[in-house]
Amino acid sequence: MSKRTNSAKRQLILDEAAKLFKLKGFGGTSMRDLAAQVGMEAASMYNHIKSKDEILELICFHVSDTYIRQLTEVEQMAATYVEKIRALIGRHIQLMIEDGAAVSVGNNDWKYLTGDTLEAFKTARKRYEKGFAALIEQGIAAGELQPVNVSVALFTILSAVRWVELWYRPGRDVTPEELEENIMTILLNGLAK
Amino acid sequence: MSKRTNSAKRQLILDEAAKLFKLKGFGGTSMRDLAAQVGMEAASMYNHIKSKDEILELICFHVSDTYIRQLTEVEQMAATYVEKIRALIGRHIQLMIEDGAAVSVGNNDWKYLTGDTLEAFKTARKRYEKGFAALIEQGIAAGELQPVNVSVALFTILSAVRWVELWYRPGRDVTPEELEENIMTILLNGLAK
DNA sequence: CCTACCGATCGGTAGG
DNA sequence: CCTACCGATCGGTAGG
């Protein structure tokens, strides 16, 4: 039971850290800020985590692991390339709605990682990008997609979806379903009539 | 002549600051880092700028002023809404190619602004968003655009374009013209055939 | 989980 | 434009 309590505290620290990093950036968040949010002294947090850097690592790799798992799921689907891309974008949006703070850290604060950890994160991200790019490339080759530059299409999609994490709140007048449908319409069918 | 020299140094400080903030974030960049990049001691920079916060302000408002000027230009064009939106997206991409570091700071580090300055920046950004949204809304009303949610379309476009600042380098195998054309195709005509 | 504290580094100033 | 330095705050540790 003490173990369950400890790991709950640890998770609380990670969750609050993600929120603060999103709000003020990794560099703009002090361990004293975080401690106040969690409800303990800064020194006490070191019973649950090793360092400020470890917090950043855990959040970043939680996000990149999730992304890669989603890619693997979609790759194994029996579907057209358009359907696969649609499924991957959908999962992307879903993750932002469910875990926006962590995604924000993985998008913006990963650059504060150092050494091997930084390299490992970059590698994970590149792997995801390559997998996504392959879907687009095959979709073009199969005649399902417009013959655009693959890199441009990839980053336009990944980027187009990013604002959700900054914007979406449960109180919005747009439901997650509408949101997903609207974004999908713009990216796949275009805004113009 | 001494005035010209001084303001050139000041500009150099601002340019190097934008690059460093983009690379390491405002919170992760020290005045000593910046001084080393500029080629003087930290203390000496205070002959050219008032504070670290002033540097951030100058960069952020340079960007927001440019955006608002571009919006005004486009609003005064005699053209269809689709053409206006196309023109505004084009200017957006152009600015990122020409002044990517400053745009990055205006996108990511504005949150380190404080007090009235922070409020003024938020107001400028909101003004730009409202102007852009109005173009989309009128485009839908005129039957030129798909009847999507205006906020979703606005942020999808603004966001879709943001990766250019992270990705574009003169050495890329894509020219600025191709880049613009490809992004425009995806956003306006859609990726799917 | 806290009090007390460490060395390092921060943004910025004084004085020349 | 530099040397020398300020008070404040940083991430983190010792010891209980």
What would the pLDDT profile of B80-96 be if each residue is shown by its tens digit?
999 999 999 999 999 99
Q: Which of residues 1-30 of A touch strand C (CB under 7 A)?
A: 9
Please say if the pLDDT value at position A177 is more than 60.
yes
Indicate yes or no: CB of A156 within 8 angstroms of CB of B26.
no
| Residues A36/A37/A41/A43 CA torsion (nearest 10 deg) | -120
The Cα–Cα gap between A160 and A162 comes to: 6
Would an 8 Å CB–CB cutoff place A77 in contact with chain B?
A: no
CA A56 to C1' D11, in angstroms, rounded, equals 14
Would an 8 Å CB–CB cutoff place B185 in contact with chain A?
A: yes
- B137-141: average pLDDT: 97
- Write down the residue that tokens 């609050």 correspond to: A16
Indicate yes or no: CB of A148 within 8 angstroms of CB of B191.
yes
All CATH 1.10.357.10 domain ranges in chain A, comma separated:
57-189
Strands in B50-183 per DSSP E: none
- A164-185: average pLDDT: 90
User: pLDDT digits over A91-110, tens only?
Assistant: 999 999 999 999 999 999 99
The Cα–Cα gap between B44 and B13 comes to: 11
User: pLDDT digits over A5-58, tens only?
Assistant: 578 899 999 999 999 999 988 988 999 999 999 999 999 999 999 999 999 999
CA A84 to C1' C8, in angstroms, rounded, equals 51
Q: What's the pLDDT score for residue B170?
A: 82
Indicate yes or no: CB of B149 within 8 angstroms of CB of A174.
yes
Q: What's the pLDDT score for residue A2?
A: 44
Would an 8 Å CB–CB cutoff place B80 in contact with chain A?
A: no
Closest to B138 measured CA to CA, from B186, B67, B83: B83
Indicate yes or no: CB of A153 within 8 angstroms of CB of B191.
yes
Angle ∠(A147,B104,B45) on CA atoms, nearest 5: 150
Structure tokens at B103: 């745009």
User: What 3-state DSSP class applies to B192?
Assistant: strand
Strand partners, A145: B192
In this complex, the nucleotide whose C1' atom is nearest to the CA atom of residue B53 is C11
| Residues B114/A23/A166/B136 CA torsion (nearest 10 deg) | 0
User: pLDDT digits over A67-90, tens only?
Assistant: 999 999 999 999 999 999 999 999
- For the segment(s) B52-189, the CATH number from 1.10.3720.10, 1.10.357.10, 3.40.50.300, 1.20.1440.120 is 1.10.357.10
- Write down the residue that tokens 């580090």 correspond to: B109
Instruction: Spell B97-108 as b/e; 16+ CB within 10 A means b.
Output: bebbbbbbbbbb
Residue B55, min C-alpha distance to chain A (Å): 17
User: pLDDT digits over B34-77, tens only?
Assistant: 999 999 999 999 999 999 999 999 999 999 999 999 999 999 99
The Cα–Cα gap between A184 and B3 comes to: 54
User: pLDDT digits over B149-159, tens only?
Assistant: 999 999 999 99
**C-alpha distance across the termini of chain A, in Å:** 60
Indicate yes or no: CB of A28 within 8 angstroms of CB of B112.
yes
Cα distances (Å, whole numbers) of residue B12 to B6, B33, B34, B37 = 10, 14, 11, 10
Q: What's the pLDDT score for residue A1?
A: 40
Neighboring chain A residues of B136 at a CB cutoff of 8 Å: 191
Residue A69, min C-alpha distance to chain B (Å): 23
The burial class, CB within 10 Å (0-12 / 13-18 / 19+), for A76 is exposed
User: pLDDT digits over A152-172, tens only?
Assistant: 999 999 999 999 998 888 888
Strands in chain A per DSSP E: none
- For the segment(s) A1-49, the CATH number from 1.10.3720.10, 3.40.50.720, 1.10.10.60, 2.120.10.30 is 1.10.10.60
All CATH 1.10.10.60 domain ranges in chain A, comma separated:
1-49
Residue B189: which of A27, A183, A190 has the nearest Cβ?
A190
Q: What's the pLDDT score for residue B1?
A: 40
pLDDT confidence band for A181 (50 / 70 / 90): very high
CATH topology of domain A57-189: Tetracycline Repressor; domain 2 (1.10.357)
Please say if the pLDDT value at position B127 is more than 60.
yes
In this complex, the nucleotide whose C1' atom is nearest to the CA atom of residue B46 is C12
Neighboring chain A residues of B25 at a CB cutoff of 8 Å: 25-27, 109, 111-112
pLDDT, chain A, mean: 93
- B24-35: average pLDDT: 93
Indicate yes or no: CB of B157 within 8 angstroms of CB of A23.
no
Closest to B55 measured CA to CA, from B28, B22, B18: B18
